Amino acid sequence: MKLYGIPNCDTVKKARNWLTENGIAYEWHDFKKQGLSEEHVAQWLTQIEWEQLINKQGTTWRKLDDTTKASVIDAASATDVMLANPSVIKRPVLVTGNSTNVGFKPELYQALLSS
C-alpha cells in the first residue's frame, strides 16, 4: 500500500493519522520532495478519471493562468499540468494492490482495507 501526497495538506494528515491509528502499514510518497513520474499518473488514470485527479477547488488550480486551465481538456493535457504542478492533484492518492483511490474518508478507507 502506498500513499501519495504532500505532508502539509490537512486531508493527507487525516489519512496518515487514520492509517497509523488503525495499525495499517503503508509506504509514504511525498510528491513534492520525491517527485512524480508520468508512469505514476498514467497508472492512476487507468482507474480514475482525470477530472477526479485535478483539484479545481484548490489554491494551486486557482493560481494557474486562464490559458493553462483552458488547456486541460483530456487525460494527456491533465497529465502535463499535474506533472508541472503536482499540488494540483487531489490528495491523498492511495494505491492498494490494484486499486487506486483519491481523497480521504474514514469509511472508504475502512471498506477498502476490510476487503
Note the pLDDT tens digit of each residue in 3-12: 999 999 999 9
Cα separation, 96 vs 26, whole angstroms? 9
Cβ(3)–Cβ(16) below 8 Å: yes
Where residue 107 sits, what CATH number does that domain have? Answer: 3.40.30.10
Note the pLDDT tens digit of each residue in 42-51: 999 999 999 9
Cβ(83)–Cβ(36) below 8 Å: yes
- Is beta strand 2-5 parallel, antiparallel or unpaired with respect to 27-30? parallel
For 85, the domain range is: 2-114
pLDDT of 115 reads 64
Note the pLDDT tens digit of each residue in 65-94: 999 999 999 999 999 999 999 999 999 999
Cβ(50)–Cβ(71) below 8 Å: no
* Global confidence as pTM: 0.91
Tell whether the model's pLDDT for residue 114 goes beyond 90.
no
Q: Tell me the catalytic residues.
A: 9
| Number of domains composing the chain | 1
